[in-house]
């Protein structure tokens, strides 16, 4: 049975964190946030869409960890392209460290298809109201390598621009209404290291929404993987153009924040987000 925890802000449920999902192996089962909504009730996450059924709302998803797929779908193989392999891993809940209405923290095991332990993760998600029409989600995760980790992406294996992997947010959107930009990027924000990135769009009823993604601490060095044409999504990419190697017993930490707001992008909301982070 799928197990989930509701996160609340300003007196309402704004996110459902599914910490023990029932999912097919080919999507690389992992905890995810869906639905996530604005304070006004507009859903801003997409779940298992037809174009990429392995996109699970907002989740920590990595294409290749020691040849294990924690992203779902195909695996990019140098010289062969995207190949369907029986190599999907699982992120499994082990124990709670904190669990309240506005924050959850827990330990997870990242295991291969055969159950081999690759990493132990500590994950923390916290919500708080930012303004009258916006709230903030803070995300922190730390991976501790069990026996040494090599984290890859399709880009590190030759597919230019496909350096995704890390905290990934899939948005549901009418692509005619989607717009993405960063603080410093005049053109395509994809691949930039801007301190914040805005993704905006509209819900099923036409209500506009805004997401503001911000890097904190070590995550500031990671480029942004951004999609706003073929689909709408943002990822803080941890292996953009070179493999990330974590020695046995060593840790890797990333911290980010996402502002979820009703309405179109507003300078006041962006300023409030920067001050909060």
Q: Number of structural domains, the chain?
A: 1
Confidence of residue 267 (pLDDT cuts 50, 70, 90): very high
**pLDDT tens readout for residues 107-143:** 999 999 999 999 999 999 999 999 999 999 999 999 9
Tokens representing 148 are 């040494």
pLDDT value at residue 130:
98
**pLDDT tens readout for residues 35-65:** 999 999 999 999 999 999 999 999 999 999 9
What range does the domain containing 49 cover?
3-276
Q: Which residue has the higher pLDDT, 177 or 90?
A: 90
Taking residues 161-170, what's their average pLDDT?
97
**pLDDT tens readout for residues 82-104:** 999 999 999 999 999 999 999 99
Task: Report yes or no: 130 and 50 within 8 Å, Cβ to Cβ.
Answer: no
Burial 105-122 (b: 16+ CB within 10 A, else e): ebbbbbbbbeeeebbbbb
CB atoms near residue 75 (< 10 Å): 23
Strands 103-111 and 117-131: what pairing?
antiparallel
pLDDT value at residue 175:
77
- Going 5 to 7 to 8 to 14, the CA torsion angle's sign is negative
Q: What is the CATH number of the domain that holds 16?
A: 2.70.98
Confidence of residue 219 (pLDDT cuts 50, 70, 90): confident
Tokens representing 162 are 């496909």
Task: Report yes or no: 199 and 226 within 8 Å, Cβ to Cβ.
Answer: yes
Nearest to 243 by CA among 154, 169, 167, 159: 154
Taking residues 154-164, what's their average pLDDT?
95
Residue 205 pLDDT > 90, yes or no?
no
Distance between CA 131 and CA 125 in Å, rounded?
19
Task: Report yes or no: 108 and 91 within 8 Å, Cβ to Cβ.
Answer: yes
Confidence of residue 186 (pLDDT cuts 50, 70, 90): low
Helix spans in 62-138 (H): none
């Amino acid at each position: 049975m799928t197990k989930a925890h509701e996160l609340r802000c300003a007196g309402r449920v704004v996110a459902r964190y599914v910490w023990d999902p029932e999912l097919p192996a080919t999507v690389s089962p992992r905890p995810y946030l869906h639905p996530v909504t604005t304070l006004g009730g507009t859903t801003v996450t997409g779940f298992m869409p037809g174009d990429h059924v392995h996109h699970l709302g907002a989740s920590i998803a990595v294409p290749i960890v020691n040849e294990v797929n924690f992203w779902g779908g195909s695996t990019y193989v140098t010289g062969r392209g995207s190949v369907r392999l029986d190599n999907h891993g699982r992120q499994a809940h082990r124990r709670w460290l904190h669990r309240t209405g506005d924050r959850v923290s827990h330990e997870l095991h990242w295991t291969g298809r055969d159950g081999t332990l690759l990493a132990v993760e500590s994950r923390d998600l916290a919500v708080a109201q930012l303004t009258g029409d916006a709230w903030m989600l803070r995300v922190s995760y730390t991976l501790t390598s069990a026996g040494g980790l090599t984290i890859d992406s399709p880009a590190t294996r030759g597919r230019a621009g496909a350096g995704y992997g890390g905290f990934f947010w899939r948005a549901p959107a009418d692509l005619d209404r989607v717009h993405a930009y960063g603080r410093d990027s005049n053109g395509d924000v994809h691949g930039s290291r801007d301190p914040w990135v805005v993704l905006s769009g509209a819900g099923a009823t036409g209500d506009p929404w805004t997401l503001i993604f911000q890097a904190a601490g070590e995550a500031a060095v990671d480029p942004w993987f951004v999609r706003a044409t073929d689909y709408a999504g943002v990822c803080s990419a941890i292996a953009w153009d070179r493999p990330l190697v974590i020695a046995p017993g060593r840790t890797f930490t990333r911290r980010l924040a996402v502002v979820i707001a009703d309405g179109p992008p507003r300078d006041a909301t962006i300023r409030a987000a920067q001050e909060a982070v």
